[in-house]
Structure 1
Amino acid sequence: MQIIEVTGFGVRSAVITMRRGDTPLRFVLFPMLHVASPAFYAQVRTRLEGCDVIVAEGIRGDSRQVGALTLAYRFAPRRRRNGLVEQKNAIVLPAAVPLLNPDVTAAQATADLKTLPRWTYALLLVAAPVFGLVFTVRGPRAFLDTDLEVDDLPKTSRAEALADGPVIEALTARRDRLLLDALGEIHAERSGEPITVGVVYGAGHIPAVAAGLRDRYGYRPREAEWLTVFSQM
């Protein structure tokens, strides 16, 4: 199942609807990139307005380590000619739809990062803002380089290219478990209702979420809609 498509023309994200044959509830997965065009976030928001519940990521609280990683995303929109903005709840999530946030705290995220070998931990914290600066200067072209292969796990910045093995485990494993547990509770309590649950998480989380919904609860992809994250400039 392809989630992010990168071509010479730009980047697209697949909005995936998952259903079971015997229950009316459906989950709609929105693979997010933390830096994108305003039009992409506007399209996501429009579709979320039709949902009955939104389950969204968002680390609660602050820490120096988490702040260092997110510098990569905060740098890019500062160069206006890139035409990109940072993902913010205010521009993506409609206030009228009930919101659940089963994500980790900053302290938990930091604790998970500290399980990495020291050199990996240090490199990750140093590399993220450096790659953010590269993205700021080069804009969307940084996504479209031939040496950047994107399959089911996209790299929102090249800092995430470090996310192999223990790194991806530290960055996502606990968060994926919490998310799947929350979706499981919705399934257990509301599977008999004809409601739509929008799942708004970084694209790197979506493969695990889709697999968990399939293997644990029997939901399978039934529809997909491509949204343009940004086009080549």
Structure 2
Amino acid sequence: MQIIEVTGYAVRSAVITMRRTQTPLEFVIFPMLHVASPTFYSQVRLRLRDCDLIVVEGIRGRSAGVSALTLAYRFAPRRRRNGLQEQSDGLVLPEGVPVVNPDVTAGEAVADLKTLPRWMYVLLMLAAPVMGLVFAVRGPRAFLDEDQVVEDLPSTYRAEMMADNPVEHAMSDRRDQRLLDALGEIYTERGAEPIRVAVVYGAGHVPAIVSGLWNRYGYRPREAEWLTVLVPE
């Protein structure tokens, strides 16, 4: 099952509802792109109003290393003709719905990145602003690349190779573990309640979320709704 669909016409994200037999609590996963059309964020916000709890991504605190990495998607919205916006809590999170943020601190994120070989860490810091400039110049077309496709249960050789990518591990492993631990606590404490728990995380984290809920607690994807992330002009 695809999470992000990229075609020559648009980028779409699949909102996935996961359920477990005889357990009323549902998890609704929103795969996010950190730069998208305003319409995408408004559609996500509208659906989050129907949820009882929101588990949201967001590295807590600040550091120069994290700021350098986020340049990759902070440049694109600055060109108004691109018609894109950077994701923010104000655009996505509705008022009145409780929010939980189990993400790592900026210090923890940088510490994980510094476990990489030094040359790789330096290259990563240098590449982020360059990629940001590419996105800003090319606009939405920069996202219409088949390499952006994300699957929840990767089976292709390319996906298997990416799973062994040390950069991916450094950027995601601790964060995915922290998230799954938080979802486990919610399941243990509130599994008997008929509530909808939204998980609003970057699309790259979603394969770990799906497989974690499946393997740990027996949750299965039962529904999917496609939302259009962006359409190029």
Please state which band the TM-score falls in when normalised by the shorter chain: over 0.9
Structure 2 runs not aligned, ≥5 long = 153-161
Determine the structure 2 residue equivalent to 1:171.
171
CA contact (8 A) 2:4 2:148 kept: no
Determine the structure 2 residue equivalent to 1:99.
99
1:119 Cα shift?
1.0
Determine the structure 2 residue equivalent to 1:157.
none
- Cα distance per residue 1:107-139 (max 9 Å; x no partner): 000000000011110111110110110100100
Matches within 5 A, 1:150-189: 150-152=149-151, 165-189=165-189
CA contact (8 A) 2:3 2:149 kept: no
How many aligned residue pairs are there?
Answer: 224
2:5 is the counterpart of 1:5: yes
Q: Which runs of 4+ in 1 moved over 4 A?
A: none
Letter in 1 for 2:66: V
State the alpha-carbon separation in 1 of the partners of residues 150 and 210 from structure 2: 15
State the alpha-carbon separation in 1 of the partners of residues 181 and 95 from structure 2: 24
1:232 Cα shift?
2.0
Letter in 1 for 2:41: Y
Determine the structure 1 residue equivalent to 2:144.
144
Determine the structure 1 residue equivalent to 2:85.
85
State the alpha-carbon separation in 1 of the partners of residues 163 and 118 from structure 2: 15
RMSD, matched Cα: 1.3
* Compared CA separation, residues 55 and 145, structure 1 to 2 (3 A): closer
Q: TM-score normalised to the size of structure 2?
A: 0.93
| SS of alignment partner, residue 135 of structure 1 | helix
State the alpha-carbon separation in 2 of the partners of residues 178 and 35 from structure 1: 24
State the alpha-carbon separation in 1 of the partners of residues 144 and 94 from structure 2: 31
Determine the structure 2 residue equivalent to 1:49.
49
CA contact (8 A) 2:36 2:84 kept: yes
Matches within 5 A, 1:1-233: 1-145=1-145, 148-152=147-151, 165-233=165-233
State the alpha-carbon separation in 1 of the partners of residues 143 and 5 from structure 2: 11
| SS of alignment partner, residue 151 of structure 2 | coil
State the alpha-carbon separation in 2 of the partners of residues 117 and 95 from structure 1: 43
Q: Which moved more, 1:162-171 or 1:135-144?
A: 162-171
State the alpha-carbon separation in 2 of the partners of residues 151 and 107 from structure 1: 28
* Compared CA separation, residues 128 and 102, structure 1 to 2 (3 A): same
Structure 1 runs not aligned, ≥5 long = 154-161
| SS of alignment partner, residue 13 of structure 2 | strand
Q: TM-score normalised to the size of structure 1?
A: 0.93
Letter in 1 for 2:73: Y
